[in-house]
Structure 1
Amino acid sequence: MRVYLTNAGVVTLLEPANFRGLDVLIDPQAPDQIERAISRIGKREGEGHVRLSPSVLRFLSPHAGEAEWEENFDKMIAYATKAGWVDDSNMVRAHITFAEPQPSITPDVFKAAMRALPAGIAAITTGQGDGRAAFIVSSLVSISAEPPLVGFFANRTVSALPTILAENKFAANVLGTGQEDVVQTMCSAPQGPARFSNGTWLEGKNGLPVLDGALATLECDIISSTTVGTHQFIVGHIRHSSSAEAIHPLVNFNGGVRHLPERLSA
């Protein structure tokens, strides 16, 4: 069983059904980033060990709650207790293993590759009145139909992000032909009501700004927010949704706003 602290800020559990050992695998990263990551899962003990709570391991395991896994997990903790690796706070000691550096592409190469990926464009909105905030994404993604979930990625420097997280809800407005000015305004106007100066904005059923005539509007409550690299991945449970008559979607491709042709070739 291995807790993996990635250099993208994601914490995962590798080999969750391997009960013969326990360690913490850490990607190469800055010392302060390592310490922040360790503080999320337990506490450091010297240079080579971390103290972990069994509840953290259960939380990370996809098998927690399964009878066989729980039985073997309890046996592992009992063995560690007998060996003196569990302290008075019931924290189990795990060895730190530092991962070898792996090849990686540069940010410029990454951006060049991603510019070749066409993606739909949506305006993410939140707040009310003078407290409204918005920005444009091309990272809106469908996650699940039952329950209905969508998500998007936002750079952690995005000016709207603090408001979105404080409101704990957002609307995703999927944009189409004729709404190019909405994109331009939201990419250039100061954060706040000025970003809503193009288009007709209404108050949705959840009290969120929704664009009249958008291809679709999805009003969501935030159920999770996870740091992944330079971005925050925000997942929303859709509470209300509406769709307009079919218009052609706007697409982000090669760094610009494009239109899909009226009829795609087979």
Structure 2
Amino acid sequence: MTMMTEPHAEPSAIGSVLVPVTRETYRDGMASFAAAVNVIASHGPAGLAGFTATAVTSVTDDPPTLLVCLNRKSSAAPAVLENRVVSVNALAPGHEAVSALFGGKTPMADRFAAARWTYGKSGAPLLEDALVSFDCTVTETVEVGTHIILMCQVIDVCASDRQEALVYFKRAYQAVCP
């Protein structure tokens, strides 16, 4: 890792055009970025839809808001954008098969049939044995490159007493325990 040793050193790129790294270099770097595994689920006028996401983070607690990134080419994208409600379901060890189903090309009905669901206040499906489920309304969307950023205002939280989380690290599922 290269560190700046002088606090006021001038970057050598001033005045030049900075070129982003390649897609492959970026993806290789992101493989070292451990992230929680989540299933994002939606239900409404456009029907059931869901996808697996690691690109989920807290934005603010006032109002309680999560950021979720959705690939615009995802089969779930049209329904999520029309329904305007989602649940963010943090997965635990034992959910790897559910994650794989929601991350692939499996038909939506088969994805949802592989687990047990309830419905939140928004009408979004909540995974019954999730580590935690956030019930949300989508308040804003922003398109960036290949993805749509969803700003999701949290209207309810359903937490379990499970003690292990599922993360994705070095292109594999890993269990994290206290």
* TM-score, normalising length: structure 1: 0.58
Distance in 1 between residues matched to 2:147 and 2:105, nearest whole Å: 22
Q: Identify the match of residue 25 of structure 2 among 106, 109, 120.
A: 109
- How many residues are aligned here? 164
Distance in 2 between residues matched to 1:133 and 1:169, nearest whole Å: 11
Alignment of 1:121 with 2:12, yes or no, is no
Contact 1:130/1:192 (8 A) holds in 2: no
Query: Counterpart in 2 of 1:228?
Result: 144
Query: Counterpart in 1 of 2:159?
Result: 243
User: Aligned residues: percent identity?
Assistant: 24
Distance in 2 between residues matched to 1:177 and 1:251, nearest whole Å: 9
Query: Counterpart in 2 of 1:36?
Result: none
SS in 2 for 1:131: coil
Contact 1:115/1:253 (8 A) holds in 2: yes
CA-atom RMSD in angstroms: 1.9
Contact 1:177/1:250 (8 A) holds in 2: yes
Query: Counterpart in 1 of 2:5?
Result: none
Distance in 1 between residues matched to 2:20 and 2:105, nearest whole Å: 35
The Cα of 1:100 is off from its aligned counterpart by 6.7
Q: Which runs of 5+ in 1 are unaligned?
A: 1-98
Taking a change above 3 Å as real, the CA distance of residues 129 and 184 of structure 1, as seen in their structure-2 partners, is farther
SS in 2 for 1:183: helix
Alignment of 1:187 with 2:142, yes or no, is no
Taking a change above 3 Å as real, the CA distance of residues 129 and 248 of structure 1, as seen in their structure-2 partners, is farther
Contact 1:126/1:171 (8 A) holds in 2: yes
Distance in 2 between residues matched to 1:223 and 1:128, nearest whole Å: 15
Q: Which has the higher helix share?
A: 1
* TM-score, normalising length: structure 2: 0.85
Distance in 1 between residues matched to 2:158 and 2:87, nearest whole Å: 11
The Cα of 1:188 is off from its aligned counterpart by 3.3
Q: Would you identify which runs of 4 or more consecutive aligned residues in structure 1 move more than 3 Å?
A: none
Query: Counterpart in 2 of 1:202?
Result: 118
1:232 maps to a residue whose letter is I
Q: Identify the match of residue 78 of structure 2 among 162, 175, 197.
A: 162
Taking a change above 3 Å as real, the CA distance of residues 223 and 130 of structure 1, as seen in their structure-2 partners, is closer
Q: Which has the higher strand share?
A: 2
1:236 maps to a residue whose letter is C
Distance in 2 between residues matched to 1:250 and 1:149, nearest whole Å: 22
Distance in 1 between residues matched to 2:97 and 2:106, nearest whole Å: 15
Distance in 2 between residues matched to 1:129 and 1:236, nearest whole Å: 18
Q: Which runs of 5+ in 2 are unaligned?
A: 1-14
Query: Counterpart in 2 of 1:47?
Result: none
Contact 1:172/1:217 (8 A) holds in 2: yes
The Cα of 1:246 is off from its aligned counterpart by 2.6
Q: Identify the match of residue 145 of structure 1 among 53, 61, 64.
A: 61
Q: Identify the match of residue 134 of structure 2 among 202, 207, 218.
A: 218
